[in-house]
Chains A and B, each alone.
Chain A
Amino acid sequence: MRDVAVVGFAQRQMAQFDGSPTCVELLVPLFADCYEQTGWTRRDIGFWCSGSSDYLAGRSFSFVQAVDAIGVIPPVNESHVEMDLAWAMYEAWIKIQTGEADTALVYAFGKSSAGVLRRTLALQLEPYTMTPLWPDTVSLAGLQARAGIDAGLWDERAMAEVANRSLTDAEKNEYAVRRGGSSVEELLSRPMYADPLRKHDCAPVTDGAAALVIAAEGRAREVCERPAWIRSLSHFVDPMSLGTRDLKRSPSAQRAGAASDLDGVEVAELHAPFSHQELILCSELGLADDVRINPSGGALASNPMFSAGGIRIGEAARQIWSGSADRVLGHATSGPALQQNLVCVMGSEG
């Protein structure tokens, strides 16, 4: 396998994009950030891949205009996944592994605030028997949280501890949409939103876009003093059926963790849009107690659809770049109740 590293990361996250920006307006500033970080231009990029959803955009072919943000001539080696940024990065990593490209810029975008997100996501369910009932994302997560509480795996206090830590860490993240810790007691005194979930247990609806630059050995060191070398990249999916799944578990997360070498991981950025999901992920991945979880504040602070998973990888990579960690983990999830999961382990050693 070729050594490939994350060498660039740009993001925008906000409660609501101002107005109705086009893909070009959204992405050009992000690409500019990536070019500035690396010193590269678009002509240094060997492969492009984006992640987005037509349903979130409320239109077909919503990614087509995004190519305009790259520029016109020459045409580019480019692809798109109807998935989170993390999987767009996976496709790019594969492309680099084939030897066809040495560098890639991957990006994703989504304006979650344009509709009622929890209702839009009900359209992701099995269309014959589930979607007609319109079970929304928050309610499904509530059922999952309740299942774990009833089984004695966690309690509301443990969930509040996750939220309090996330919101406290988010104070240092300029992109956080929700921030400001208080105390577990204070959080527990707040009203229920979807019993047993309180608002702070649920990721805020977030608009956003993000980009990552990855590069193979040889190119990565040109532009980054301490590249975040991808040591493993693994993803799996579970059956969706909510009636037959054990909602307390996420076997695909467990598999992705088992396929990775997690020894020595100091920092983990976990894509857990609900507080109890972080507890499930820590358990499925078998993370040691001393692993620092979500120093960015994680998805409870901001969760832009289709880029939030990739942002976890970018935030984890930054820990390597800054020298504050030597081995980190970035995780992304997709689908209802942690159905699909990706784990990216990065290290400072090439």
Chain B
Amino acid sequence: MAKQPAAVIGVGQTHHRAKREDVSMAGLCREAMDRALEDAGLGLDEIDAIVVGKAPDLFEGVMMPELFLAEALGAAGKPLLRVHTAGSVGGSTAIVASSLVQAGVHRKVLTVAFEKQSESNAMWALSVPIPFNMPVHAGAGGYFAPHVRSYIRRSGAPNHIGAIVAAKDRQNALKNPYAHLRNPDTTVESVLASQMLWDPIRYDETCPSSDGACALVIAAEDVASGSPNPAWIHGTVMRSEATSAAERDQVNPQASRDAAAALWKQAGITNPIDEIDAAEIYVPFSWFEPMWLESLGFAEPNGGGWRLTESGETAMDGRLPVNCSGGVLSSNPIGASGMLRFGEAALQVRGAAGEHQVDGARRALGHAYGGGSQFFAMWVVGSEKPSN
């Protein structure tokens, strides 16, 4: 049985900031939702179902906040789902929303992902001590730094590659009116001069902690055909792997490689770097750009990734523009970050990315990962209806 065609016809996001004290959680979500609905030319009353995604509830201090938000999100009297798959959740949520349309169960689904990290101390929420478990107390940067060191050792990458990524994404963010960080003076040199946090990850190579939300309207073929610029969904994939296993490769996880292979097959893509025009890849620490480029099959393992980055091919005018929006390095409302990647990919193929538009983008990748690199969610969207 084939999936029913589905497309993104509306994308909305908030202005991401360290603290959005001007809005409640509901207000934050509605800011993104109302923009997505306006983009789609639909009213909330025309939506069949609402799918909410966010990362741990401890970030806001409300257990299952979608329940109290139900009315404000227009879900009252409708089906409401709440997805939580760690950092990949924004992507997974978009995929769950798509599947409601691809299954033929609903025709117009609104999905929203958010995080209001200023409601709590995210670092604390991630580090609650667990009985009978070795405390890590490292934060995400401390957790991933050994993976980065391992990548550098394997690939022989020069030390400044991460700084190239950070400088590029911060410059890209200046073209995105919604981005949290706006640091026009960031250069490779300034990144390399910033404080070392978790060797080899420097302060300017880390993502911010943001309040923000992203919303998408996903519609069935008959609805999407009335849209001037639908982003058709060409493939979706979710893969997860176990946490505790000696055979795990945490630098280039099998779940990531398997997910990419399944995604390219679904989308009919045989040579990703030539067939993908723009990629929004989940890069919370700069070095994950070359790491994921290899894992996703854009470059050869153990060195192809950093060479691509170093040559400038991942810049806006390169062969594979990566994170033209500024990416996670410029805005990181955790629960929404994955959906922002998926939404930005849709904006590119709709020709609606504004100043950070890649000319003539026809197929784009949205990518998210989470946990300690166990959870992966990805999609390919295109300006043309998929032929497969």
Contacts and interface: CB of A to CB of B under 8 A. Distances in A.
A286 B229 CA distance: 45
Interface in A66-95: 67-68, 70-83, 87, 90-91, 94-95
Given A79-B238, A98-B102, A234-B79, 6 more contacts: A67-B242, A72-B247, A82-B83, A91-B99, A124-B63, A335-B67
Contact of B128 (A60, A67, A239): A60
Contacts of B255: 75
A241 B71 contact: yes
Contacts of A340: 67, 70, 80
A272 B118 CA distance: 37
Interface in B333-372: 371
Contacts of B56: 54, 60-61
A238 B70 CA distance: 7
A79 B83 contact: yes
A99 interface: yes
A340 B81 CA distance: 10
Contact of A240 (B71, B240, B241, B244): B71
Nearest to B258: A75
B385 interface: no
A68 B76 contact: no
Contacts of B105: 94, 97
B223 interface: no
Interface residues of A, number: 67
Nearest to A259: B79
Nearest to B372: A64
A78 B82 contact: no
Contact of A67 (B61, B80, B92, B374): B374
A95 B95 CA distance: 10
Top 8 nearest A-B pairs by Cβ distance?
A97-B103, A99-B1, A75-B255, A60-B56, A239-B71, A55-B63, A78-B240, A75-B241
Nearest to B87: A61
Contacts of A48: 240
A75 B3 contact: no
A237 B75 CA distance: 7
A81 B128 contact: no
B142 interface: no
Interface stretch (A126-134, A140-148, A160-168, A174-182): A126-134
- Centre residue among B56, B58, B96, B103 by max chain A CB count within 10 A: B103
B330 to A, nearest CB: 24
Contact of A72 (B3, B65, B241): B241
Contacts of B65: 127
B46 interface: no
B81 A60 contact: no
Contact of B3 (A67, A77, A98): A98
Contacts of B188: none
A190 interface: no
A123 interface: yes
A199 B159 CA distance: 65
25 contacts: A2-B1, A54-B63, A56-B63, A59-B58, A60-B56, A61-B371, A64-B371, A68-B243, A73-B254, A75-B254, A78-B375, A79-B92, A80-B83, A82-B66, A91-B81, A94-B100, A98-B102, A124-B63, A127-B60, A127-B65, A236-B77, A237-B75, A240-B70, A241-B71, A334-B64
B67 A339 contact: yes
Contact of B70 (A80, A131, A239): A239
Interface in A146-170: none
Given A60-B56, A239-B70, A120 B82 contact: no
A125 B68 contact: yes
B68 A75 contact: no
B182 interface: no
A73 B61 contact: no
A206 interface: no
- Centre residue among B78, B241, B255 by max chain A CB count within 10 A: B241
Nearest to A252: B77
Interface in A218-244: 234-241
Contact of B81 (A59, A81, A336, A339): A81
A148 B59 CA distance: 37
A78 B86 CA distance: 12
